[in-house]
Structure 1
């Protein structure tokens, strides 16, 4: 089966339809973005998250190229580059859109007309989406090898294509898991997106508040032992730091303290980020934490909030980093770019 959220970005004759994950699953509403700039706004305003901005970014590049048909080639190239900058800047911490824009711009350097540019962009974005989906399935296959059948797995936030790949590949390997899902304040992606998708797959996930994660992993937990903490990584640096949804750091520290292995999934470490200081950590408007799903939850007397959207987990708190080329110890993740590593897992 294909979960609803796995088909949440659709390119039409009018523009890009993006399923509004801010209100899903209570409502299935679609936001129409008619230009690449409007796609960037939708990404920045959290209409879509996790893998969603990658799919939306590719669709935005297609919109840009289609709109330039008939223009001069220099104009079309400049428009594509400008729109690529808008899409890249929408949410700077995750590098998937940035890398996709670079790949597409590299592919069009030798085009001789705007029409040819549009054709190349169509082909290149389709190729990149196929690679992303295939890589996500490979992450799932390798992660399933690390986690035994029947394990109780905790996850944080919304892993999107990585989660879907893990569930599907584990099923092919004859493995099934129990799931513990953090709610993920303030947008509740875990409560709404992760838990819903797992339920679509037939699981009965246990939902916990973000502040319960450490207690759930402790020996005193009445929930039962947590066998693994598994999350996506928005970025992994060459020295093994994991950047992911804020809260991941605290969960990883607790997992380390209680002997729970933490597996972080990413297609590839970012070769342009030697250390965590090379990564821009997005800080969103602190007012966002004063409300939940549009309803104010803080006292009317409270005016100030603080919301870094991501945090940085040092490699000493990370068990393994799973990539589409194999499983790495954090200190050796830079070997990914040597292209020959693949750790064998039983």
Structure 2
């Protein structure tokens, strides 16, 4: 099964980093060229890319930082400053910190550009390999013919779930929430599933509980921007409501994440990003002057509503996530 375009949406080139603009996808396939770390950081903040996109953007931005650092009196300090800028762009998801750390993990000051590029390529390969494992483990939890409810855009996790099912001889169908205010579920998830030839139905965000009540759904499956060691799942705003409804109608909720965050013991250790309220004040081209908007970009689902947290090392009960690190080689 071929990879869809969104599986390779951030690319390094000699003249910069090219990022597929997810704000206009799939209507248009436009690439934003970033020639500096600051331009990549602004692209992440402006939602040119989301989900795992910022991870790859940060990897390749660190290569730009390495190229810039050769003209700096203190190359290491320049790289560290660049990493801090990238990490600060989206504080809730810890992918950015992972990207910066792995890009610098092979740093050799005698060959800064070459060594950071090698680190970035290592990070790219590891993320893709881990996503394949994660997708396969999630596919194992679902019966052939399962109807899956998704929320927002799970990126490579979703792509590898579909590919894992295909390798296992299984076929799934999907109901995708549209996911306001950026409609990632409609424009990214549904479009990508259709591109991969998957049976896909789009619903509005407000329909999730009703679809679960109708017994149309076998499992709620989402990505997680972060999972704490005590089993809290932090993901796109709206996940909490779906998880509560899923439990009410005895539908399992599987949250996909490569690894729980060992540096976040509980939900109190995860900063929740609040975006400008103005971002929710338009729908279908209609604005609402004189009205304030409120936009927490993520919510926190307590472990009692989570059936399994699926990682690149298998599925774990939310109360047993410490076991993930006991399996380290």
Common fold: TM-score over 0.5: yes
Distance (Å, rounded) in 1 between the aligned partners of 2:45 and 2:290: 28
Distance (Å, rounded) in 2 between the aligned partners of 1:287 and 1:127: 39
Q: Residue 323 of structure 1 is aligned with which of 311, 318, 323?
A: 311
Question: Is the contact made by 2:102 and 2:122 (CA closer than 8 Å) also made in structure 1?
Answer: no
Deviations along 1:4-58, one digit per CA (max 9) or x if unpaired, are 1112111112111101000101111111111011101100100000110011110
Does residue 42 of structure 2 align to residue 41 of structure 1?
yes
Does residue 51 of structure 2 align to residue 50 of structure 1?
yes
Cα root mean square deviation, aligned = 1.4
Does residue 146 of structure 2 align to residue 145 of structure 1?
no
Distance (Å, rounded) in 1 between the aligned partners of 2:288 and 2:96: 37
Shift of 1:112: 3.7
Kindly tell me: are residues 112 and 194 of structure 1, through their superposed partners in 2, closer, same or farther at Cα, counting changes over 3 Å? closer
Distance (Å, rounded) in 2 between the aligned partners of 1:323 and 1:209: 28
Distance (Å, rounded) in 2 between the aligned partners of 1:92 and 1:50: 13
Question: Is the contact made by 1:247 and 1:311 (CA closer than 8 Å) also made in structure 2?
Answer: yes
Alignment length, in residue pairs?
328
Shift of 1:89: 0.4
Does residue 326 of structure 2 align to residue 335 of structure 1?
no
5 Å-filtered alignment, 1:267-282, equals 267-282=258-273
Question: Is the contact made by 1:153 and 1:180 (CA closer than 8 Å) also made in structure 2?
Answer: yes
Distance (Å, rounded) in 2 between the aligned partners of 1:298 and 1:308: 19
Question: Is the contact made by 2:151 and 2:176 (CA closer than 8 Å) also made in structure 1?
Answer: yes
Question: Is the contact made by 1:290 and 1:296 (CA closer than 8 Å) also made in structure 2?
Answer: no
Shift of 1:297: 2.9
Kindly tell me: are residues 112 and 196 of structure 1, through their superposed partners in 2, closer, same or farther at Cα, counting changes over 3 Å? closer
**Secondary structure of the structure 2 residue equivalent to 1:308:** coil
Q: Residue 297 of structure 2 is aligned with which of 309, 318, 324?
A: 309
Distance (Å, rounded) in 2 between the aligned partners of 1:167 and 1:156: 15
Q: Any unmatched runs of 5+ in structure 1?
A: 342-346
Deviations along 1:272-326, one digit per CA (max 9) or x if unpaired, are 100000000000000100024xx64343342x00000000000000000000111
Deviates more, 1:196-205 or 1:139-148: 196-205
Shift of 1:104: 3.1
Shift of 1:102: 2.3
Normalising to structure 1: TM-score of the pair? 0.92
Distance (Å, rounded) in 2 between the aligned partners of 1:6 and 1:241: 27
Question: Is the contact made by 1:157 and 1:194 (CA closer than 8 Å) also made in structure 2?
Answer: yes
Q: Any unmatched runs of 5+ in structure 2?
A: none
Show the counterpart of 1:229.
220
